Amino acid sequence: MKREELHHRQIDLRFYRRGDGHYEVVGRLLDTKSHPFRRQLAAGDTPPGTPIHDIAVHLVIDEDMLVHDAFASMEATPFTVCPGATGTLAPLKGLSLRNGWNRQVRELLGGAASCTHIVELLGPMATTAFQGLAPKRLAEINLPGSEAQRLAKVDSCYAYAGEREVVAQLWPHLHRP
């Protein structure tokens, strides 16, 4: 079936170890269209391939996933007022990317409090940070005294279901046949 691309959204998520002992997760959202179109309040058409949104969000965290800093930049936006949303991230400082992160982000930054696209990026940024720190957690989970971590992992997703082979192989005592 023939199809024609009308819109392209690119989301890029990266995790870094910083020289100051912290970590930084960066999310970038880039929107383009393949045809000229007229933006609201614009005097002329926007050429194809011109970024409509080019937004980057940075979270500086520690090993416990506590937010030490949060900031954003907007290189392209549909309205001149949009870059004002880059100053709305201060309420994230001191929060944890762990349980309840998405709910807290929506409560603090949802609706007119911030930019919809910043809020959209913050969820997958938390999971990117979680994956970035995964090697550290995996190294610790099988140490003596880490039973609570093992118990928390069981039934946390499809692969780690208590009745599946992953749990049977990793932690036979926690497997449910």
Tens-digit pLDDT string for the chain (177 aa): 999 999 999 999 999 999 999 999 999 999 999 999 999 999 999 999 999 999 999 999 999 999 999 999 999 999 999 999 999 999 999 999 998 999 999 999 999 999 999 999 999 999 999 999 999 888 888 888 889 999 999 999 999 999 999 999 999 999 998
The CA distance from 145 to 150, in Å, is 10
Taking residue 84's Cβ as centre, other Cβ atoms within 10 Å add up to 13
The CA distance from 167 to 49, in Å, is 48
pLDDT of the residue at 33: 97
Closest Cα partner for 36 from 19, 50, 55? 50
The CA distance from 160 to 135, in Å, is 17
Neighbouring residues of 2: CB distance < 8 A, sequence distance ≥ 6: none
Taking residue 113's Cβ as centre, other Cβ atoms within 10 Å add up to 13
| Identity of the amino acid at 74 | M
Neighbouring residues of 174: CB distance < 8 A, sequence distance ≥ 6: 150, 151, 154, 162, 167
| Identity of the amino acid at 144 | P
Fold classified for 7-133 = Sufe protein. Chain: A (3.90.1010)
CB of 80 closer than 8 Å to CB of 71: no
Alpha-helical regions (H) of the chain: 101-109, 116-132, 134-141, 147-153, 165-170
Sketch the domain layout of the chain as residue ranges.
7-133, 142-174
pTM of the model: 0.90
Angle between helices 101-109 and 116-132 (to 10 degrees): 160
Residue carrying the six token digits 């928390």: 152
pLDDT of the residue at 99: 85
